[in-house]
Amino acid sequence: MTTPKDDKLATANPTGLQPSPADANRSEQAASVLAQQPGEVLTTNQGLHISDNQNSLRGGSRGPTLLEDHILREKIMHFDHERIPERVVHARGAGAHGYFQVYKSMNHYTKAGFLQDPEVKTPVFVRFSTVVGSRGSADTVRDARGFAVKFYTEEGNFDLVGNNIPVFFIQDAIKFPDLVHAIKPEPHHEIPQASAAHDTFWDFISLTPESAHMIMWVLSDRAIPRSFSMMEGFGVHTFRFINESGKSSFVKFHWKPVLGIHSLVWDEAVKLAGKDPDFHRRDLWETINRGQYPEWELGVQIVHEEDEHKFDFDLLDATKIIPELLVPVQIIGKLTLNRNPDNFFAETEQVAFHPGHIVPGIDFTNDPLLQGRLFSYTDTQLSRLGSPNFHEIPINRPIAAANNNQRDGHMRQTIVKGRVSYEPNSLGGGYPMQQPSDQGGFVSYPQPMEGEKMRVRSESFADHFSQAALFWRSQSAWEKDHIVSAFLFELGKVEVDAVRERMVSMLTQIDKFLAYRVAEGLGMAAPKPPSGAENVKRTNELEMDPSLSIANTRKDSIIGRKIAVLVANNVDKASLAVCKALEAEDAVIRFIAPRLGEIKNSEEEFIKVNYSLPTVGSVMFDAVFIPGGQQSVEALCADAHAVLFVKEAYKHGKAIAAHHNGAMLIAQAARSAGIEHGEFHGPGVITLPSGVINDSFIKNFIGAIAMHRFTERPGLDAIVA
């Protein structure tokens, strides 16, 4: 992780980017009005100084408000129109500024300027989001997550608009409205919010076999990430790289989190929606504020054009991955987020992404889902941001010069001088004029085209189940258990028996054992394959791919991990040496006590309490440490919140450590859980009953935190917490 000592980009304007030449047309006086620097007087939007912002203009002290109060009218009018339409999907999001650096020139594959010089830091703005819920929904719902990156390159903006899941539900964009209508709250009563666990969604999915692969990802733990900085990102579609000589290669984009891929468990996700619905937003904001800048490495899978058809799947099919065992991911650069937005609405809410925003050296393929998105995004921005001039909003402005003959329109900001607004022209000296492709002008890749006009799906898109089965086979035992549990929750909410039966029947096409487990959990008869199943197209490329399992992620860092330290008065000072050791590894220590304020340690020194026990839960932390101190531990053992805290942490497989008599609280939690012999044991439970804190104890605790979760603990399902 990057620290605050690293270089930061200049922040000369609200985007954190150098102003474009178009901004020069804005007068210094207008800019000063909009700046709103501390110490300036309160004004109207027109710059009029306001002497009284507390009272409307009235006819007498108790008389009617006067229509001529232009200050009131302007203020209320602005307030009335402050809310813009939220995004149809990806409405709830969080964003941050940062930069991207390529590790080495990619000129062999692409002429894209930002992928050439390792010394160049390309500014970026990144927005993460949930897909289904409205702006007011919770962060931790089961859902795909948007992962959209706007690169402000010298050749124009490049938007890599992706998700944390590499595939999608559908193959053709014409089905996108149907998918979204099915997954959104049902129109007759607007229920449920931010959830796919209802009849209309599963009715659609059970009738749409191409969704099988995506469903497996969405019902895995990938759909409930621990944080934005611990989830992958994918461009989803297959794009093209084009080099200076015009040679084209197919490319898939990957974002690999430096901290590894880690997730919540479902019980945590549900409780966090109540404890802290802003859990992911808050984590991103606080992580950047601490200077522990989130990082991802950019990887690419490159397929030479002559190899387009060598696979048993179609590269243009957005419901398919290229397995990493077949085409390894080349790591080519790093993304670092180092600055929070100054204003959520102006930046995170108004940022407008578009997969059609590309630069020379990157181009599209004939992916039918991508082709539809190229139309949809511009159309959506016109509706949501109210103007074809949304590109002039500061967060959307390119750092490259924008010169064209577009004029006017609602909320136009740039003042372009001169009489000419057309091309070709002679009255303006011919400017702005086209730039030849050999001098940097964009030209689309000359892909050969042939065929008749028709509405038909390519036969190469017909295998809907082989990769879904590959994903299932590649999961560890505990990941498979979680997927089954997710199906039981989701389909258990479905009220129409026929929909449930049809969906479980579809699962037999992925894996019979999966289908039987789900049917048994739902109290259904053994499922039968759907009619015609024997004729379904299948391929058998790989038995499994380790990259598809979270169990294989890196587990060697505790950077940014939040450690709950449970304390009360007279906590043993010597025990707290653990806290310094954890902070030295860049973990985040939070003291939690029965009440807020301060407590005293065993040497009468004050410790500031970060949270009171009634306001938090173990679901908000990655590990628990219980220091010694007889009086402190006894107070915690008598506190139901503290007992539940430890019990939940154990149930969720988190690292738990205790020094000296701190183990009393672990025993109390075990007894309250009905554990025989009254103790929690197993991997990740670390105690030091006597003696001083030593290196071995600290090393074991740090190693346990880095493991993230211990799913093999005995009896977890029997614990009620």
CA 555/CA 707 separation, integer angstroms: 5
Q: Which residues pair with 163 in a beta bridge?
A: 146, 234
- Residue 500: enclosing H or E segment and its boundaries? helix 497-507
Helix (H, G, I), strand (E, B) or coil at 8: coil
How is residue 491 written in tokens?
């389909």
Alpha-carbon separation of residue 465 from 205, 402, 468, 532, 536 (angstroms): 13, 46, 5, 14, 9
Do 479 and 514 touch, CB atoms closer than 8 A? no
**Active-site hit among 97, 157, 163, 389:** 163
The alpha carbon dihedral of 445, 451, 452, 457 has a sign of negative
| Cα–Cα nearest to 131, from 175, 171, 161 | 161
Q: Which residue has the tokens 């468990």?
A: 265
CA 301/CA 249 separation, integer angstroms: 10
- Bridge pairing between strands 156-163 and 588-593: unpaired
CA 168/CA 165 separation, integer angstroms: 8
**Whether 552 is catalytic:** no
**Whether 90 is catalytic:** yes
Backbone phi, psi, residue 10, to 5°: -65, 145
Q: At what angle do helices 266-275 and 477-492 cross, to 10 degrees?
A: 60
How is residue 310 written in tokens?
């060598």
Alpha helices of 207-351 — where are they, by DSSP H? 212-218, 266-275, 279-289
The arrangement of strands across the sheet holding 562-566 comes to 611-612, 588-593, 562-566, 623-626, 655-659, 685-688
The alpha carbon dihedral of 606, 610, 616, 620 has a sign of negative
**Active-site hit among 90, 198, 237, 262:** 90
Running DSSP on this structure, what letter comes out for residue 478? H
Burial, 663: exposed, middle or buried (Cβ in 10 Å; 0-12, 13-18, 19+)?
buried
The residues that are catalytic are 90, 163
